[in-house]
Amino acid sequence: MTTRTTNILRQATQPEGMDFNGTWQVYSEENLEEFLKAVGAPQMIVKMRKEIKPMIVIKQNGKDFTYTMKTPAFTKVHSFTIGKETEMTTVDGRKLKCTFREEDGKLIAETDKFTSVREIQGDNMLETVTAGSVTFISRSKRV
């Protein structure tokens, strides 16, 4: 299949304006430590995660997603469907309910602890996560 054919087929199965498919390398994070503390992450996780810039792999098929975060210390995989509540497990084993929705080409996740807004800006992905008065910003580049 040619690249053009693949892109046409991908566009036919994605919600308009949303193409999160791919491998993303996090290159910048702001307020990570404050965010992790705000959501109750254990100090060991806060310390370990501060030193790591994860690789994120997103596989999107229409409204179905598989999101994989890879670091040298752990790999975490979540699957979800836009519009359906799903249960996610944090790195330290806590469970939380999360609902994803699409709005203006943005992927929005809501839990009782935080709201995440993920969007594509050219070859970059920007994620803004708010927990109470703390805002965490992560920037990734498609690789």
Query: Residue 50 belongs to a domain with what CATH number?
Result: 2.40.128.20
The answer to whether residue 11 is domain-embedded is no
Say if residue 8's pLDDT is above 60: no
Query: How many CA atoms does the CB half-sphere of 48 hold within 13 Å?
Result: 12
Contact at 8 Å (CB) between 137 and 121?
no
Within 8 A by CB and 6+ apart from 54, the residues are: 26, 69, 70, 71
The answer to whether residue 3 is domain-embedded is no
Say if residue 34's pLDDT is above 50: yes
Q: For residue range 82-104, list pLDDT tens digits in order.
A: 999 999 988 778 899 999 999 99
Three-point CA angle 65, 46, 120, nearest 5°: 35
Q: Which residue has the higher pLDDT, 24 or 11?
A: 24
Torsion of CA 98, 110, 73, 137, to 10 degrees: 170
The answer to whether residue 38 is domain-embedded is yes
Q: What is the average pLDDT value for the chain, to the nearest integer?
A: 87
Contact at 8 Å (CB) between 37 and 44?
no
Contact at 8 Å (CB) between 34 and 129?
no
Say if residue 27's pLDDT is above 70: yes
The answer to whether residue 91 is domain-embedded is yes
CA gap 30, 78 in Å, rounded: 23
> Where does the pLDDT of residue 17 fall: very low under 50, low under 70, confident under 90, or very high at 90 and above?
low
Q: Mean per-residue pLDDT for 3-16?
A: 44
Contact at 8 Å (CB) between 143 and 24?
yes
Residue 26 has what pLDDT?
96
The answer to whether residue 4 is domain-embedded is no
Tell me the whole-structure pTM to 2 decimals: 0.82
Q: For residue range 50-83, list pLDDT tens digits in order.
A: 889 999 999 999 999 999 999 988 899 999 999 9
The answer to whether residue 13 is domain-embedded is no
The answer to whether residue 9 is domain-embedded is no
Domain enclosing residue 91, as ranges: 22-142
CA gap 29, 3 in Å, rounded: 32
The answer to whether residue 99 is domain-embedded is yes
Q: Mean per-residue pLDDT for 122-134?
A: 95
- Please count the structural domains in the chain: 1
